Structure 1
Amino acid sequence: MTPDAISACVETLLTAEQSGKQCGLISAAHPEAGLDDAYAIQSELVARKLSSGRQVIGWKIGLTSRAMQSALGISTPDSGVLLDDMHFDDGATVPKGRFIQPRVEAEIAFVMKAPLGGAHIRRDDVVAATDYVCPSLEILDTRVLRQDPVTGLARNIIDTVADNAANAGIVLGRQRHKLSACDLRRVGAIVKRDGVVEETGLGAGVLDDPVTGILWLVHRLAQYGQSIAPGQVVLSGSFIRPIEAPSGSQFHADFGDFGHVRVSFG
């Protein structure tokens, strides 16, 4: 894609977010676009938001489960950037109209105490650089339509990556745990919406180990000369399917001894 085409896609996504109306598929408008193009759109989109005063607070990893990868016909996760206005306190209420089509996922969050970057990084390096892990919820929102009304094509990985990996919000639980003391593969969550169990899952659903997700992100960022900074949050990937979050809904994610997280939608 040309620089002008990338900038035009950024404008389209920003307009969709600001208007609350989803836009057409980038993959349909630009069938020539590849993953590098999608990340270039994401990068310019984030840069535009940073220029308006927002700050980076971390990263998210998505599409870590085999089910989601198979549905999109891919074999790799994706990633996006977390910004400061995406953070909601545990128990907070998301204002009505803040998002277009919010959904919720349960994840394990990593909070870093040391920089982490480079193609040489291994599992022990991730453990050493992690300050603590905690339960979390990710709020997803999609600024791109699910299906193109003209061609009938479905939203794909190009659209998702360009749309900052559908990032919208994060809610971190108050409980903190040392990574070295946890078997994250066996950390599970029971997620209720309005008191009804909607989804359950185990950390092993994330590439067999959420730490593997962090490794994937570090190695991907290294290709672009980027890294994870101290104090940043990394959402390691969901181990449940996304749950729709209509206005008035209340969510409670029970991670057992690992902790719990709550969020409501006004």
Structure 2
Amino acid sequence: MLPIDTIQALARELYQARKTRTALRHFSARHPGMTIDDGYAIQRAWVALELADGRSILGRKIGLTSRAMQLSSQIDEPDYAPLMDDMFFQAGTDIPFNRFIAPRIEVELAFVLGRPLHGPRATLFDVLRATDYVVPAIEIIDARIEQFDRETKAPRKVFDTISDFAANAGIVLGGRPVKPDAVDLRWVGALLHKNGVVEETGLAAAVLNHPANGVAWLANKIAPHGEQLNAGDVVLAGSFTRPTTAVAGDSFHADYGPLGSVTFRLV
């Protein structure tokens, strides 16, 4: 593990980077011995700074849920991070582009829990019983730590991404909420339009064969730390499309068919 003073210093850098919208170079390059545990330690220290500012945690996100993304990141499991209250935006509105550094867009399902869910032996069926409803969502991911190093062009490592709130920056919920047993969630699909053009399509089964599997994984993963998912938590289960780049002026429309749609514009 990195020394505690180093972890605190790196968390402070991320805290400032989010405020100033200035990307940092890879922590893993500066600290070659950095581990996944270091990444989560930095993430927790950053969360503490946000909480001290009066922010609150409204849920969690799960990332790197597809096999392809795990292979590219050289890991064999997803990652996770908190959803802070100031990351939520209303569907159908204009979202300030200057809230982000290099935003990209992903299509997901969000589980809103009606009762607590805790590990270490949570299953898909426990998730479905604990879920009040499932709703279409778009995640706006960002890079407080550069996706590619500005000089070497090397991609960031998973330790960097975990430190960086697992790249989370914004959440937009919309469409039609459904009970988790009202549809076969594996077959929920979406078309992601950017400026009227279909950029990505996907099925929710791409998330660990069933998006509820990701929520169960998360409950089990955080249990050893004495944590659980709580009633009212919003849990982003993982993207089932590739990230789509975004610039100021872009409009996005995620069409979930029978479950409605999510729209917004970056201005």
Question: Into which bin does the TM-score normalised by the smaller protein fall?
Answer: over 0.9
Identity %: 47
Task: Count matched residues.
Answer: 266
Q: Which residue of 1 aligns with 2:99?
A: 98
C-alpha separation in 1, matches of 2:196 and 2:215 = 32
Letter in 2 for 1:180: D
C-alpha separation in 1, matches of 2:186 and 2:175 = 20
Aligned-pair distance for 1:89?
Answer: 0.8
Residues 1:186 and 2:187 aligned together: yes
TM-score normalised by length of structure 1:
0.97
Q: Which residue of 1 aligns with 2:236?
A: 235
Contact 1:132–1:178, Cα closer than 8 Å, also in 2? yes
Partner SS, residue 237 of structure 1 = coil
Q: Which residue of 2 aligns with 1:251?
A: 252
Q: Which consecutive unaligned segments of at least 5 residues does structure 2 have? A: none
Letter in 1 for 2:115: A
Q: Which residue of 1 aligns with 2:83?
A: 82
Q: Which consecutive unaligned segments of at least 5 residues does structure 1 have? A: none
Aligned-pair distance for 1:146?
Answer: 2.4
C-alpha separation in 2, matches of 1:264 and 1:158 = 31
Aligned-pair distance for 1:258?
Answer: 1.6
Residues 149 and 100 (structure 1), Cα distance of their counterparts in 2 relative to 1, 3 Å cut: closer
Letter in 1 for 2:170: G
Q: Which residue of 2 aligns with 1:37?
A: 38
User: Where does 1:219-230 land on structure 2 (aligned, <5 Å)?
Assistant: 219-230=220-231
Q: Which residue of 1 aligns with 2:140?
A: 139
Deviations 1:91-125 (A, max 9, x none): 12111311111111000100001000120222221
Residues 177 and 154 (structure 1), Cα distance of their counterparts in 2 relative to 1, 3 Å cut: same
Contact 2:56–2:85, Cα closer than 8 Å, also in 1? yes
Q: Which moved more, 1:198-207 or 1:96-105?
A: 96-105
TM-score normalised by length of structure 2:
0.97
C-alpha separation in 1, matches of 2:178 and 2:239 = 18
C-alpha separation in 1, matches of 2:120 and 2:193 = 39
Letter in 2 for 1:63: L
Structure 1 segments, 4+ long, off by >2 Å, are 146-154
Q: Which residue of 2 aligns with 1:18?
A: 19
Aligned-pair distance for 1:152?
Answer: 5.3
CA RMSD of aligned residues (A): 1.1
Aligned-pair distance for 1:151?
Answer: 5.7
Partner SS, residue 68 of structure 1 = helix
Letter in 1 for 2:71: S
Q: Which residue of 2 aligns with 1:55?
A: 56
Q: Which moved more, 1:12-21 or 1:96-105?
A: 12-21
Contact 1:134–1:259, Cα closer than 8 Å, also in 2? no
